[in-house]
Amino acid sequence: MRLTLTLACSMALLAPAAFADPITVNDGTHEITLPDTPTRVVALEFSFVDALASVAVSPVGVADDNDITRLPQAIRDITGPWTSVGLRGQPSIEDIAALSPDLIIADLDRHAAAYDALSAIAPTLLLPSRGEDYADSLKSARLIGEAVGKTPQMDARLTQHAAIMQDYATQMQALVTPGTTVIFGAAREDSLSLHGPDSYDGSVLAALGLTVPAIRDGGDAYEFASIEQLLALDPDYLLVGHYRRPSIIDQWSSAPLWNVLKAAQAEGHVVSVDSNVWARNRGIMAAERIADDALHILQGTFAEVE
């Protein structure tokens, strides 16, 4: 009798580990049910890797554009190595399937057309990433935390994040006068894409209390701009992520009109920043890195990225 009772107690203690409750998550377009906490996660956008790293979950596969350095080192230090499944815009279905994932996190903008193929491999979350703003990125992070069975940890991380960002905002407000305008642009060889207040990094800067000018009335979050349009905005600070050098900004900086730009007339007000962090990445850790960069720029202590 004692042996039977002991065995029954032991089985009861083991039951929660052996039979975890299913996890049901609604991403806004689909509801998925995971029979157990996923351990083999494939992430098809950088912001999803940011969310996983924020709760110490390592993906087995990432659509990393075949270049791991596009993910910040701080994220790679947490996740460790993964298997590349190709480009974010067109990840390899075969490479994803070969990893036998139990959860795929896909981008609503890039991967909706491939949803059926992806969900045939594993339960697939379809979340906004490309084109989302700061507030939406935090909502997506919370859903990812829920999907990987880390809701308490994600809630704690988001609380910590809010405190970190508030501290940055408080420090910045002591450094600038109200209405100081800051804008980020991604520069290629032949174009400059300015990121307005509804863009990801623009909304991060706005959340920090900085003024990010709209590119044009009724315009998109991201707008290509000429040097004349840049001069019309005339920001106090121009932050540039150069995809390649020389970029169009390097060309413009030799033109007579450039010296009319307010930011160009003040030392340390035209600054090169990491295009991967500012243009390609989004999420909790990305926002904290952007905030840290912005604070050092305003302090005049930022080491420019070349």
Digits of tens for pLDDT over the chain (306 positions)?
333 333 333 333 333 444 568 999 999 999 999 999 999 999 999 999 999 999 999 999 999 999 999 999 999 999 999 999 999 999 999 999 999 999 999 999 999 999 999 999 999 999 999 889 999 999 999 999 999 999 999 999 999 999 999 999 999 999 999 999 999 999 999 999 999 999 999 999 999 999 999 998 888 999 999 999 999 999 999 999 999 999 999 999 999 999 999 999 999 999 999 999 999 999 999 999 999 999 999 999 998 765
| Structural domains counted in the chain | 2
Residues 281 and 225 in one domain: yes
**Segment holding 193, helix H or strand E:** strand 192-195
Residues 175 and 273 in one domain: yes
Residues 36 and 93 in one domain: yes
Residues 67 and 182 in one domain: no
CATH number (domain holding residue 117): 3.40.50.1980
> Using CA atoms, how far apart are residues 257 and 147, in angstroms rounded to an integer?
52
Helix/strand/coil for 208: coil
Based on its alpha-carbon atoms, the radius of gyration of the chain, rounded to whole angstroms, reads: 22
Question: Tell me, what amino acid is at 95?
Answer: D
Q: Is 8 within the bounds of a domain?
A: yes
Q: Is 130 within the bounds of a domain?
A: yes
Range of the domain at 236: 159-299
